Amino acid sequence: MVAPIIAIHHLSFQYPQQPFILQQLDFQLFSGQKVALRGANGSGKSTLLHLLLGLLRPTAGRIEIFQQRCETEANFVKIRGRVGLLFQDADDQLFCPTVAEDVAFGALNLGKTPEQARKIVSNILGLLGLAGYESKITYKLSGGEKRLVALATVLAMQPEVLLLDEPTSGLDATTEQRVIALLAALPQAMLIVSHDLHFLQQVTQQTVNLTQGRLSNLVG
């Protein structure tokens, strides 16, 4: 029997002095599976992604990633290089002065040489239509450009799993189609939060809905 890459069991979460935003969630993500996570604004979709990377801790339940139970910061440190998270707000992801430095940061942190990192940066920026952006100042970019650079920082780490929060937000139609083609061709498992149905229909094979703190069954 094939084991899931990510498994959550009876997962619940509440922010301090707030009602539960997630209640008794059960979910599994398998190798190569691309799943859309849908729900209303404020339903807890981004919160769930943050829990899966250890940026928040569940109130109850457990998280298993790569067949390892993840409870402590030490547990999550071991898997963060293998799981890439695209934040909903690109400004939360970009902190280096230039595009090349931002995109190379994760790869260098994972032990790539400067030459290897430069090649990764060039390749990823080319795939996203950002060739020549290496020396551009990150904070001066448009919202859509920042979104692409943030995605590039995630892809440059070559993770085994992608957790993507609104990856097409702010993109024009041509650029969105480029991102669709790229993500659809990638082999990694993905859990994607998006309100963009056109995008989801072309990239994901299944959908799970988060409503009133609970997940529905996966549907085609």
pLDDT at 29: 96
Which pLDDT score, from 0 to 100, does residue 217 have?
A: 66
Please state whether beta strands 34-39 and 206-211 pair in parallel, antiparallel, or not at all (unpaired): parallel
88-95 contact pairs (CB < 8 A, 24+): 88/46, 88/165, 88/166, 88/169, 88/193, 90/143, 90/146, 90/147, 90/149, 90/150, 91/146, 93/150, 93/153, 93/154, 94/138, 94/139, 94/146, 94/149, 94/150, 94/153
Is the separation of the CB atoms in 109 and 125 below 8 Å? no
Take residue 159 and report the two structure tokens written for it: 């993770």
Could you tell me the CA-to-CA distances from 168 to 117, 119, 135, 197, 206 in Å, in that order?
A: 25, 25, 23, 11, 18
pLDDT of residue 219: 46
Alpha carbon 121 to its chain centroid, in Å, reads: 18
Mean pLDDT over all residues of the chain? 94
Q: What is the pLDDT, as a whole number, of residue 205?
A: 92
pTM recorded for the entire structure: 0.94
Residue 220 has pLDDT above 50, yes or no: no
Strands 189-193 and 34-39, bridge-based pairing: parallel
